[in-house]
Amino acid sequence: MNVPLCNQSNLFGHLNYWCVMFWPCLLGVAVGPKLPRQHLRLEGITFFNMMIETMIRKSRWTFVQYLRTSKAFGTFCFMIFSSVIMAKLDTGIVKQFWLINPTLQDSQKGTCVHDKSCADHLFDGLLKYGSIGLILETTRAILAKFSFLISNRPQFIREFRQIWNLKLALFLAAYVGIYRSTSCMLTHFNLAGRPVVAGFLAGWAYALYPKYQIFTLALTKAIEMSWEHWIKTNRNLPDWVQRFSRLPFVYLAQIVSFGYLGHIYAFHPHLSPSFHVKAMDVCSKNLTLNMRRTLIGWFGGHPREPAW
């Protein structure tokens, strides 16, 4: 990343705002070793979602600012995303990761196809997904305060208690509980639109745990699943759609998001996702942290000796 910085400075005589970190980070990933397909997809989608999260945090648009501050509006949007996602997954055509996997069933029969009774099916989901939420939250809290666990255990216990909570477990349990109970009820009454209605109502659980990470995941998944379902269910697609669908979206998302997040890391660190900040600092052994401090000194008129 240092080479593009030096080349830009020598070529233009100054460092452009976007050329300081955006293009070096983007080009560094673009020319770097290619990841295996599964790893590329995981990394590309993860960093793309973090980029969307950061854009929401940074945006000055009135609509986005209202979305950012209104839990009710954010919950309503999440309910729509959830409805779209569950409707696409219920077809069996789209097979992607989501918070829960719907039980594919024939609503014409008027009976559910899960092995257990509806009550057992519901309580099984509440217990399973609630437990997953507890495990994830406990792991997150431990990793966040891991340094205290090694050096100061009494301090670790105090810090752990402050950041650990039940909200993630309640969110997952409520989401699966509302979806399964609504789905079973609509199936028994032979009502149409089971996955759409159940998915929409289940999205209310977002109000219990309104996090950017979950919101952006739902947004991108709703778009991605809708696109995949449209591509797979339409035989006569326009030529431009066929050409567009051949683009390496995941790869493009990876390199663009790396460039944008690198830019945000340098100039708007308070908006940068905590995971990205830690990843940049740890993976570079604090090299990027020293670069950021040096760049801030340059732009602030107080240059310091580069640490690299």
For tokens 């219990």, what's the residue? Answer: 208
| pLDDT (average), residues 239-262 | 89
d(CA 71, CA 211): 10
Report the pLDDT value the prediction gives residue 306, as an integer from 0 to 100. Answer: 47
Give the model's pLDDT for residue 4: 57
* Poorest-pLDDT segment among 75-79, 201-205, 275-279, 281-285: 281-285
Answer yes or no: is pLDDT of 303 > 60.
no
Question: How far is Cα 264 from Cα 247, in angstroms, rounded to an integer?
Answer: 26
41 φ, ψ (degrees, to nearest 5): -65, -45
Q: Is residue 115 helix, strand or coil?
A: coil
Residues 222 and 229: their CA atoms lie apart, in Å, by 11
Domain ranges of the chain: 1-69+239-301, 70-100+110-233
Give 138-174 as a DSSP string. HHHHHHHTHHHHHH-HHHHHHHHHHH--SHHHHHHHH
Among the ranges given (52-56, 216-220, 278-282), the one the predictor scored with the smallest mean pLDDT: 278-282
Task: Say if residue 3's pLDDT is above 70.
Answer: no
pLDDT value for 298: 62
Max alpha carbon distance in the chain (Å)? 74
Question: Taking the model in full, what pTM does it have?
Answer: 0.83
Which residue, among 178, 199, 170, 171, has the nearest Cα to 81 in the 3D structure? 199
User: Tell me: the pLDDT tens digits for 28-39?
Assistant: 888 888 888 888
Higher-pLDDT residue of 114, 202: 202
Give me the percent of the chain exceeding a pLDDT of 70.
Answer: 84
